[in-house]
Copies of this chain bind each other. A is one copy, B any other.
Amino acid sequence: MDNFFHVRTIDQVFDLIPEFPRVDTETVSIEQARDRVLATDIVATEDLPDFPRATMDGYAVRAASTFGATESNPGLMTLTGSIGMGQKPDFSIGIGEAARIATGGMLPEGADAVVMIEYTDPMDDDAIEVYKSVAPGTHVVGVGEDFSKNEILIPAGKRLRPQEIGLLAAFGFQTAPVYRKPRIGIISTGDEIVPIHELPEPGKIRDINTHTLSGLVASAGAIPVSFGLVADHFEDLQQTCVRALQEMDMVLVSGGSSVGTRDFTIQALSAIPDSHILVHGIAISPGKPTILARCGNKAFWGLPGHVVSAMVVFLKIVNPWIDHIAGMTQQVPGKWTIPAVLTRNVPSVHGRTDYIRVRLFEQDGARWAEPILGKSGLINTMVKSDGLIEIGMNTEGLNQGTVVNVELFS
């Protein structure tokens, strides 16, 4: 029962991540692979390009033939042919020879540069004048200049962006090995909550957390599966948790802001075979009453019932957890923070990490972060905000004018 009363720091919670294995992998078409996490290193099967390509319209030449050519002293070159797009030239280029080539065309044997058409003049059908000398490699992409055979194209653990999808296409990969999207079960609890299609009686409110958490799970690249609303009833909650844990890779229970419901969640977890309560309380605000259990090798989260608290705990703790089991090893680009100047003082308590909702705006050439303060049950504070700032455990508040780092909502 020790864990019940020992509040962990956020770093201590993250130390537990390696206890949880990654989901398994699958193969998807590259059309379906965007934003998926690559499961194995992808290696170049050939050079890219595997022939020298022109990057400008002009003439393929041996560069040495042009040395010394200027506007006042042009070089005369013999036209040996014209290179069709997508065709391998059936002739070669020697000193003093040139062949018409278009952007993307394959250089003939013997040619090592392209003179742009702007720097040439046709003399007759068989000769051109060249007004500029070019170095070897000019306006050419050489063999393997983009990627060399056997080079790692994309490392395992990377989320695939459109450019990585294009790179797979360039090498003819029609499919990619990726981690399966984690399936995340969502359970809402509370006798005061009704589904959104019901009219709440006085004293009841509609279920918000199922919908905010489903959206956050989907934004995290995982698959949300709602297990519906469960009243504050031990057996119902326990049965729903067991079913969700069987079918899902991770389970989120939200609600239980009241002591009674919290007790039910702990009881339900404790009654599940092979379950260990790892965390009961985290030194953060909002979100202190968060529960983390390991059931088998799956994470089970008890999130606070207040809508803001549940969202903040998801964004700051559960989302990185999903990234981990989803196989991600690299920084997500969207996680780069935005520096901004705080518009007012923000108090904070020593010994816990505070997350403050802020609205970003630009004014007088500067970027400002305006704290959106308010109770953690008020969803308007999240709707008005663009992201979160963090106030560390050893900091007692931040002063107006401090430059803070804003992590944007996605």
- A interface residues, Cβ below 8 angstroms from B: 30-31, 34-35, 48-49, 51, 53, 55, 57, 84-89, 102-106, 141, 145-147, 153-154, 161-174, 190-193, 196-197, 199, 201-216, 218-219, 232, 257-260, 305-307, 311, 333-334, 336-339, 360, 375-380, 382-383, 386-387, 408-410
Partner of A336, one of B170, B190, B196, B408: B408
User: Measured between C-beta atoms, what is the minimum distance from A389 to chain B in Å?
Assistant: 14
A sample of 16 more A-B contacts (CB under 8 A), given A146-B377, A166-B208, is A34-B219, A141-B375, A145-B375, A153-B383, A161-B215, A162-B212, A162-B219, A163-B409, A164-B383, A165-B214, A167-B208, A169-B207, A172-B206, A174-B197, A336-B338, A336-B360
A215 touching B162 by the CB < 8 A rule? yes
A186 to chain B, nearest CB (A): 12
Min Cβ gap A334→B in Å is 6
CA distance A307 to B307 in the complex (A): 44
Q: Can you list the 7 inter-chain pairs with the closest CB atoms, starting with the nearest? A: A162-B215, A86-B192, A166-B212, A102-B258, A106-B203, A163-B382, A88-B202
Q: Looking at the assembled complex, report how far the CB atom of A323 sits from the nearest CB atom of chain B, in whole angstroms.
A: 16
Closest beta carbon of chain B to A384's beta carbon, Å? 9
Copies of this chain assembled into the complex: 2
Most B Cβ at <10 Å: residue of A141, A193, A197, A205: A205
Given known contacts A86-B192, A338-B338, A377 and B163 CB-to-CB distance under 8 angstroms:
no
A379: contacting residue among B87, B166, B202, B408, CB under 8 A: B166
Given contacts A333-B387, A333-B409, A387-B333, is CB(A102)–CB(B260) below 8 Å? yes
Write out the residue numbers on chain B whose beta carbons fall within 8 Å of the beta carbon of A360. 336
- A48 vs B204: C-alpha distance when bound (angstroms): 11
A85-B206 in contact (CB<8A): no
19 cross-chain CB contacts under 8 A:
A51-B203, A55-B376, A55-B377, A57-B259, A85-B192, A86-B191, A103-B257, A103-B258, A141-B377, A162-B219, A163-B311, A163-B379, A163-B382, A169-B207, A169-B210, A333-B409, A336-B338, A337-B338, A338-B338
